[in-house]
Amino acid sequence: MSTNSSSVSKLAFWVGCVMSAPPVLLFLMSGVMKIMQTADVVKGFANWPHGVVVPIGMVEITCTLIYLVPRTSVLGAILLTGYMGGATATVVQMGTPNFAIMTVGLGVLVWGGLYMREPRVRALIPLKS
């Protein structure tokens, strides 16, 4: 299947980039904070098994980088969806469902941004007006 960016308008492409920017920046920042083990992260992971914070941060950054590469962006969106599903389940289990709204919202931005800029996703999900 051959695709090129000409099947997506420049406006749709840039709208997709703008939609994708907040989750990408948040995932990268969160991943770096986990790797650096900032005080807030250590406090937030106090009840988790020792040694899981850095690997979780590495997974978060890796998934985000895969999402940023146009050739692997669909795989990245799938991986980030799985990551955010785990985050959503965790915050619901912890009794903080308000954070679940944010995690679901980030997932919507990941897929919405990808839909706007990626013809392969548009072909899989042909929304009719």
Q: Of 87, 118, 119, which is closest to residue 102 (Cα–Cα)?
A: 87
| Res. 2: pLDDT tops 70 | no
Compute the C-alpha angle 28/34/82, nearest 5°: 60
The pLDDT assigned to 129 comes to 62
Q: Please, which pLDDT band fits residue 11 given cuts at 50, 70 and 90?
A: very high
| Mean pLDDT confidence for 7-33 | 95
The pLDDT assigned to 123 comes to 87
Q: Please, which pLDDT band fits residue 5 given cuts at 50, 70 and 90?
A: very low
Q: Please, which pLDDT band fits residue 3 given cuts at 50, 70 and 90?
A: very low
| Res. 66: pLDDT tops 90 | yes
Compute the C-alpha angle 128/124/104, nearest 5°: 85
Q: Rounded CA gap, 88 and 50, in Å?
A: 21
- Please state, as a whole number, how many other Cβ atoms lie within 10 Å of the Cβ of residue 64: 22
Contacts of 31 (CB under 8 A, 6+ apart): 57, 58, 60, 61, 64
The pLDDT assigned to 69 comes to 96
Distance set, CA 110 to CA 26, 49, 115, 119 (Å): 11, 29, 9, 15
